[in-house]
Amino acid sequence: MGSGTPSKQYDPGPVEERWREYWNQLDLFHAGQDLSKPPFCIVIPPPNVTGSLHIGHALNNTLQDILVRWKRMDGYDALWMPGTDHAGIATQNVIERQLHSEGLSRESLGREQFVVRIWKWKQEVGGTIIRQLKRLGASCDWKRERFTMDEGLSRAVLEVFVRLHEDGLLYRAERQVNWCPRCETALSDIEVVHEEREGKLWHILYPFADDSAGGLIVATTRPETMLADTAVAVNPEDERYVGAVGKTVILPLVGRRIPVIADSYVSREFGTGALKVTPGHDPNDYEIGRRHGLPIINALDSKGNLSQKFLVDDAGKPLDSPAARYVGLDRYEARRQIVEDLREEGLLVKEEAYRHAVGHCYRCQTPIEPFLTPQWFVRMSPLAGPAIQVVEEGQVQIIPETWKNTYFEWMRNIRDWCISRQIWWGHRIPAWYCLSCNKDRLVRTYSAATSEGRGSEHITFLPDAVPIVARQAPQTCPRCGSSQIEQDPDVLDTWFSSALWPFSTLGWPEPTADLKRYYPTDVLVTSFDILFFWVARMIMMGLKFMGDIPFRQVYIHALVRDAEGQKMSKSRGNVIDPLEVMERTGTDAFRFTLAAFAAQGRDILLSEERIEGYRHFCNKLWNASRFTLMNLDGEAAAGAPPSREEMDLAERWILSRLSAVVENTRQSLDSYKFNEAAGQLYQFVWHEFCDWYLEMAKPRLAQSSPERQTSRQILQEVLDAALRLLHPFMPFITEEIWSHMPGSRQSIATAPYPKASEWVRDPEAESKMNLIMEAVGGVRTIRGEIGMPTGKRVSALIRAKDPEAVQILEAHQRSIALLAGLEKLETGVSVQRPRGAATAVLPDMEVYVPLLGLIDFQEEKQRLEKEIRKVQADLEFIARKLANPNFPDRAPADIVQKEKEAQQALLDKRGRLEQALHRVMENLED
RNA sequence: GGGCGGAUAGCUCAGUUGGGAGAGCGCAGCCCUUACAAGGCUGAGGUCACAGGUUCGAUCCCUGUUCCGCCUACCA
């Protein structure tokens, strides 16, 4: 910029490229280089290694970057710990899709090769999101980048698992868990997304087994599960069914005899009041089954297809049934077939539309199946207690506070966490089984050799198998000495490792210097949708294993939606691709937009047009800087800082405003009000610095001006401060401009963040300046309203309220004339309005612009009348208020005083407007 | 079913010790003014969702209603 002709338009592309490179080379964001500084630490919410940057990441990381850059400039040893997580199910799905397209499967590859393949893929593609974060300008400490499957983090996972087990907080048990038949794994409760769906409620007749006529009619939304029914239940208080309890019914299609039982769980109001009981496929039915000792039939296999296990009689003996034809069908195909068959047999009594919530896999949207399998669980309530307490007591502060309720609600009703996953990508559970000790507690299955791979043996350990949990694989069984030992095939929930992130990334379980220095971290920035998944679990694990909270504050930001308020999703096709936006409008404009919209407690509705406005802001800043640099002409404005006496009004004013905006910005950032901070800076740069200060500085900057040097100093000082204030929001453009500022050093990223005390608040300058702005505004309004060409010079007269105002106006005649486009200005307390002039009535003055022959006085008359009406309305309102005897009695004195003054001012204004109107009438009469 | 949030200019949104509401975009008018037309100046545009209550005074606090989001939940 310093050499050649700088472009009038800011071109972000090459600039961003260059600075990214530069920051990287300088290691500017590497923490721990100066231990004398106080530490400040944020850990990134690790994005999925499979992921690519979406708008939510962009917001989340922009806000973190603002905080980190701010703190770094403000003298902290700022560590922003980056990394990714291995996203077990999601990543496995990606690779499986790849294999599928190659005509392969993970089974044909085998576990070991499959995992090798994922690692290879991770090395090649897994860096995408990290590159994109760098593109966004994220000032992470990239040298410290971690991955949840790293050796170190894996050690942390192992250690935590073993210790939890030692402390009795882990157990393995057979429970009905949420099962995704597509991913073929268990999920935790919060990984199930409930969605309302249009379904059907089918009423089915189960005939009595004895010869008596009729039977019971049950209602169900899932007729295919009837194959696994082991009872029909009614409410014990239900008079309709008193005779039925104890009887037996014949399960249609299957032919199994099942009992009618009484259980108070059954609602008399719902459906027919009779409930088919399927302990194998419904959590409530499972409980009923336990209460009544009912057999449990698992009619589905892990893929959601019908197995043959339902072909049993009431004694559990194989049953020869026509229902055998359903074996092998997919659960929905089976449903369709069964409904059809029931209808044919005349057992389908009714079919009605019914809307109900269905659980879906959050990874693949497949409807969840309640599925009875042995799984590992973490006992949560002992961990939840302390985690609730630290939030209650404010050791961990949740911002905005409203999310505390959500947190408490979940934590107080927390259920045990199913952490085992039946997939291959992830941390293998450190539990082993002795094949000899458990020989009666395992099931061996064999898959046949196929064209695509060898056959293999699969061993499933039954719920009562005895595990050996250890940090290292045992060579022999500690009980029987056998070396026939097999590791648990399951891996851990990805969130299990994420829960350790704030300390595992810092080196735990080793007592590292980083851990000592940066833990607890200062703030976690995230969105509410992972409050349970991640935030709550980090607090629990931090307290358990570090004995301390993982972070002092949690800032929960909004969710980004599209302009219609819809959640952005690929299927809706309404995603805004942040990379595309950055490409087109520049990263800084995009970041500034996100910050400006990040008001607390509300979602962000983003559309691309809104980013445009902030692109313009970048350009404005660019051009103001161009102007400044042109005037500095490559040399630092030398000399001692100008004294107050050397400065003119505009200079004192802009420094006073700067001091105010610094203070406000800091306050806003301190309380995570990013939108306020962005708004204040925008207002300051555009509407104070550019609109007023720069315009008033122009004459003083002229080559011939004796004040030129002072002006240059102030100009440089203010722009420099503004750039530093803006840097956390707009790192690239500020770095670019700053680098061209005379005397700038290494990088603006390490320049000090401005402090309000560096400049003085100058109320006198501010109030005098307001007078100037009032005068200029008055002339401009008249010009604007009568549509006078901007270039046309006119003269103006100002009658000021008091001599002091006259003095100020006269002292700044030159500025006023320049800004208002005047060739002549006359000021005084008793200036008379010339004939044929338009009038602006202002609080401290009246402005007259003689326009004889230029103005339609009829219009001027209407304008004045309109304003009188406005003033009149205000006066009536205020008069009513003052007329209320209670008002002066009960309202605070200063408020009453203020109202009285306002009334006086309005009366005064009305009088002056009426006079102006009166004179216009005279013109009309001429 | 339970809980949380929202309703303010044409659009998107700000607005805390309660004292007659602001911004950006859009719109209209005038201007290529030597940093910037991605610009400058000016203007129009509001029953602060509705109904009550508290108060001298309510966009703001309380209650209810309507509409819209979201979270959560084992009546099939």
Average pLDDT rounded to a whole number, residues A377-384:
94
DSSP conformation letters of A420-485: EESSSSSPBP-EEEETTTTTTSEEEEEEPPBTTB--EEEEEE-TT--EEE-SS--SS-TTT----E
* Gap from A694 CA to B4 C1', Å: 48
Q: Residue A267: which of A221, A218, A228 has the closest Cα? A: A218
Looking up tokens 């309202």 gives: A891
Percent share of chain A, pLDDT over 90: 53
Q: Are A311 and A322 in contact (CB under 8 A)?
A: no
Helix (H), strand (E) at residue A40: strand A39-43
Average pLDDT rounded to a whole number, residues A116-122:
92
Closest nucleotide over all strands to A225 (CA to C1')? B76
Distance between CA atoms of residues A709 and A707, nearest Å: 6
A79, β-bridge pairs: A41
Average pLDDT along chain A: 89
* Helix residue ranges per DSSP H, A598-644: 608-632
pLDDT, position A644: 87
Q: Rounded to a whole number, what is the largest CA-CA distance in chain A?
A: 121
Nucleic strand B under 7 Å from the C-beta of A695: yes
Q: Is the pLDDT of residue A560 over 80?
A: no
Q: Is the pLDDT of residue A358 over 80?
A: yes
Q: Which of residues 478-507 of A touch strand B (CB under 7 A)?
A: none
Q: Residue A130: which of A149, A143, A116 has the closest Cα? A: A143
Q: Compute CA A442 distance to the chain's CA centroid, rounded to the nearest angstrom.
A: 46
Angle at CA of residue A626, ends A623 and A627, nearest 5°: 90
Could you tell me the pLDDT band of residue A125, with boundaries at 50, 70 and 90? confident
Identify the three-state secondary structure at position A754. Answer: coil
Q: Dihedrals φ, ψ of A381, to 5°? A: -60, -35
Phi-psi region of A586 (alpha: psi -120 to 50; beta: other; left: phi over 0): left
Q: Residue A224: which of A326, A361, A349 has the closest Cα? A: A326
Identify the three-state secondary structure at position A705. Answer: coil
pLDDT, position A891: 87
Distance between CA atoms of residues A86 and A90, nearest Å: 9
* Tokens (6 digits) for A773: 């702005």
User: Is A801 assigned to a binding site?
Assistant: no
The angle, 0 to 180 degrees and rounded to 10, between the axes of the packed helices A649-670 and A674-682 is 170
pLDDT, position A643: 87
Q: Which of residues 736-795 of A touch strand B (CB under 7 A)?
A: 777, 780-781, 783-785, 787-791
- The per-residue pLDDT for range A422-434, each reduced to its tens digit, is 999 999 999 999 9
pLDDT, position A1: 43
Q: Which of residues 710-729 of A touch strand B (CB under 7 A)?
A: none
Long-range contacts of A672-680 (CB under 8 A, 24+ apart): A672/A399, A672/A555, A672/A600, A673/A599, A673/A600, A674/A63, A674/A66, A674/A595, A674/A596, A674/A598, A675/A595, A675/A596, A675/A597, A675/A598, A675/A599, A677/A595, A677/A729, A678/A592, A678/A595, A678/A596, A678/A729, A679/A596
Could you tell me the pLDDT band of residue A2, with boundaries at 50, 70 and 90? very low
- Region of poorest pLDDT, from A416-430, A543-557, A566-580: A566-580
Residue A895 DSSP code: H
Long-range contacts of A311-320 (CB under 8 A, 24+ apart): A311/A254, A312/A256, A313/A256, A313/A257, A314/A256, A314/A257, A314/A258, A319/A254, A319/A255, A319/A256
Q: How many alpha carbons lie under 13 Å from residue A216 in its C-beta half-sphere?
A: 34
Q: Which of residues 873-912 of A touch strand B (CB under 7 A)?
A: 877-878, 880-881, 884, 886-887, 889-892, 895, 898
A79 CB-contact burial (10 Å; exposed 0-12 / middle 13-18 / buried 19+): buried
pLDDT, position A918: 85
Q: Pick A602 or A526 by higher pLDDT.
A: A526
List Cβ neighbours of A766 (8 Å cut-off, separation of 6 or more): A653, A656, A657
Nucleic strand B under 7 Å from the C-beta of A26: no
Nucleic strand B under 7 Å from the C-beta of A870: no
* Gap from A602 CA to B66 C1', Å: 22
- The per-residue pLDDT for range A805-841, each reduced to its tens digit, is 999 999 999 899 999 999 889 999 999 988 888 888 8
Distance between CA atoms of residues A840 and A461, nearest Å: 90
DSSP conformation letters of A480-501: T----EEE---EE-HHHHHTTH
Q: Is the pLDDT of residue A889 over 90?
A: no
Please, which positions of strand B sit below 7 A from a protein CB?
A: 3-6, 11-15, 19-20, 23-25, 29-33, 35-43, 55-57, 68-76
Q: Are A423 and A185 in contact (CB under 8 A)?
A: yes
Average pLDDT rounded to a whole number, residues A859-884:
83
pLDDT, position A702: 86
pLDDT, position A572: 56
Residue with CA nearest C1' of nucleotide B42 = A784
Q: Is the pLDDT of residue A601 over 70?
A: no
Signed CA dihedral, A138, A143, A144, A149: sign only: positive
pLDDT, position A783: 86
Beta strands in A327-381 (DSSP E): 348-361, 369-378
Q: Pick A872 or A789 by higher pLDDT.
A: A872
Helix (H), strand (E) at residue A663: helix A649-670
Q: Are A229 and A375 in contact (CB under 8 A)?
A: no
Q: Is the pLDDT of residue A449 over 70?
A: no
- The per-residue pLDDT for range A748-774, each reduced to its tens digit, is 999 999 999 999 999 999 999 999 999
Q: Residue A445: which of A456, A433, A431 has the closest Cα? A: A456
Q: Pick A785 or A554 by higher pLDDT.
A: A554
pLDDT, position A611: 83
Query: What's the Cα-to-Cα distance from A703 to each of A184, A700, A706, A710, A711, rounded to whole Å?
Result: 78, 8, 8, 12, 11
Percent share of chain A, pLDDT over 70: 95
Identify the three-state secondary structure at position A840. Answer: strand
pLDDT, position A4: 46
Q: How many residues does chain A have?
A: 926
pLDDT, position A589: 92
Distance between CA atoms of residues A466 and A168, nearest Å: 15
Q: Is the pLDDT of residue A462 over 90?
A: no
Give first-to-last CA distance, chain A, whole Å: 60
Q: Are A717 and A743 in contact (CB under 8 A)?
A: no
Q: Is the pLDDT of residue A5 over 60?
A: no
* Tokens (6 digits) for A25: 């080379």
* Tokens (6 digits) for A481: 């000495």
Average pLDDT rounded to a whole number, residues A513-531:
93
Parallel, antiparallel, or unpaired: how do β-strands A257-262 and A248-250 relate?
antiparallel
pLDDT, position A3: 42
Q: Residue A904: which of A812, A821, A801 has the closest Cα? A: A801
pLDDT, position A561: 65
- The per-residue pLDDT for range A874-886, each reduced to its tens digit, is 888 888 888 888 8
* Gap from A600 CA to B67 C1', Å: 23
Q: Is the pLDDT of residue A20 over 50?
A: yes
Looking up tokens 């980083």 gives: A514
- The per-residue pLDDT for range A139-152, each reduced to its tens digit, is 999 999 999 999 99
- The per-residue pLDDT for range A630-647, each reduced to its tens digit, is 998 877 777 778 888 889
Closest nucleotide over all strands to A565 (CA to C1')? B69
- The per-residue pLDDT for range A385-403, each reduced to its tens digit, is 999 999 988 999 998 888 8
* Gap from A672 CA to B21 C1', Å: 24
* Tokens (6 digits) for A540: 């629990």
Q: Which of residues 821-840 of A touch strand B (CB under 7 A)?
A: 821
pLDDT, position A602: 64
pLDDT, position A568: 61
Distance between CA atoms of residues A308 and A320, nearest Å: 11
Distance between CA atoms of residues A51 and A713, nearest Å: 49
pLDDT, position A742: 87
Average pLDDT rounded to a whole number, residues A891-901:
87
Q: Residue A274: which of A231, A232, A312 has the closest Cα? A: A232
